[in-house]
Each structure stands twice: as C-alpha cells, then as structure tokens.
Chains A and B, each alone.
Chain A
Amino acid sequence: AQKITQTQPGMFVQEKEAVTLDCTYDTSDPSYGLFWYKQPSSGEMIFLIYQGSYDQQNATEGRYSLNFQKARKSANLVISASQLGDSAMYFCAMRAFYNTDKLIFGTGTRLQVFP
C-alpha cells in the first residue's frame, strides 16, 4: 500500500534560519513523484517543489530544496532563510504513476516562524 508519513505535527524556526520538514513514503511502484505543498490559513494549496523518482539530482526551487534519499524512502523539504510568511501547514504528497494518478497526502506539519 502507498503511504506518506509526516512525523512532525509542528515545528518552530527562527526567522532567517533553515528548517527541515520530514517526509517518508512507501510504495512498491518503481516510478513515482513526490510533491510538497504549502497551505496558509487562507486554505489554498500552493505547489512548492516536485521530485521524480528517477531524477538524479535533488530538486530546488528558490529557497526550497528537496533532500531526496531514495534508499531511505525519504523526501524532506528544506526551507532556507525562513521568513515570517513561511508560517503555514506543509503537506508532502506522492503520486504513483502505474497505480493511479491521484495524490496521497501526509498529515502535514505546521511550521511557525518567529522573529
């Protein structure tokens, strides 16, 4: 069965510091994609970063990078130079291409950035 696990219900980080949000996954499909989304209090889901299972390099998008460790089945999100506006819920999600097109989401991590 496919599963996404986020073990950190909440994280605190000081402004301008880096923070890592953990995500582990389980799938038997050889081809899959991993996503991170940010959900502010407004409720919208904002796409942050994507990592394909066959990508050789870790994905990066501005201050976001994905620490992809395939053997460990982990896809941690690293946010560098945190800003107050980064305070939000963060969801890790997976799409397994052969099985289904749907996204399976983790339970999320609430990040709070303090001055």
Chain B
Amino acid sequence: SAVISQKPSRDICQRGTSLTIQCQVDSQVTMMFWYRQQPGQSLTLIATANQGSEATYESGFVIDKFPISRPNLTFSTLTVSNMSPEDSSIYLCSVPVVAGGQETQYFGPGTRLLVL
C-alpha cells in the first residue's frame, strides 16, 4: 500500500487568489494523479504529474489554471490559480500501486477548498 498525505486538509479562499496543495507519498512512485470532485459530483482527472517532465492535462484543464510541479518521485503540488467560486471542490491526489499482481490506486485524504 501507499500512505499519502495532503496539505492543507481544507481552506477557505477569496476569489482571485491562488492556493497550492501539496501531496506527499511515503514511497517512490512513477505516476501521480490529481483529481477534482465538485460538490455532489464524481471524480474527474485534472492531470497526470510526471516526474522530470511537464504534467499531462485532461481536456478542459489547462496549465495556466492548474500548474503542477513534480520535483521528485514522492512529492507533487497542484496550484489552483485565480480562483472563483466554481473552483470550490475536493482536490485529491492519487498514486497507482501494484503489489502481488494486484493493482490499485490509493488516494490522499483530499483538500476541501471553498472559494468565496
């Protein structure tokens, strides 16, 4: 398994500001993912954080709005830039783990963001 921590766990921000969310994994992993869960909705992938190269963004998400860093194999950050109330969501990082032939994907505890 993998133990994943996220900071902050929650925040309330003013529109127009930016927030950087940190994700720390207790082991080295090749891929890290960032998801968004808007209120009452399912999870949507924002981007894949690649170590040593630029993040790969999903349709509808752009680097200027959600810049991502991946300085090493255990850490990543997601910044939510120029926030608006529509950015109010839970943001989760996740990592795929394969052990004993079984695959899974573990999630961090999430960051609850409220934009006023």
Contact = CB atoms under 8 A, between A and B. Distances in A.
Q: Do A and B bind each other?
A: yes
Interface of A: 33, 35, 37, 42-45, 47, 50, 52, 91, 93, 95, 101-103, 105-108
B13 interface: no
Contacts of B109: 42-44
Interface of B: 31, 33, 37, 41-45, 48, 58, 90, 92, 94, 96, 102-107, 109-110, 112
Given A101-B31, A101-B48, A102-B48, A47 B43 contact: no
Contacts of B58: 102
B105 A95 contact: yes
Nearest to B111: A43
Contacts of A106: 42
A38 B53 CA distance: 32
Give the 10 A-B CB pairs with smallest separation, nearest first: A45-B107, A105-B42, A105-B43, A102-B45, A43-B110, A44-B109, A107-B42, A43-B90, A47-B104, A50-B104
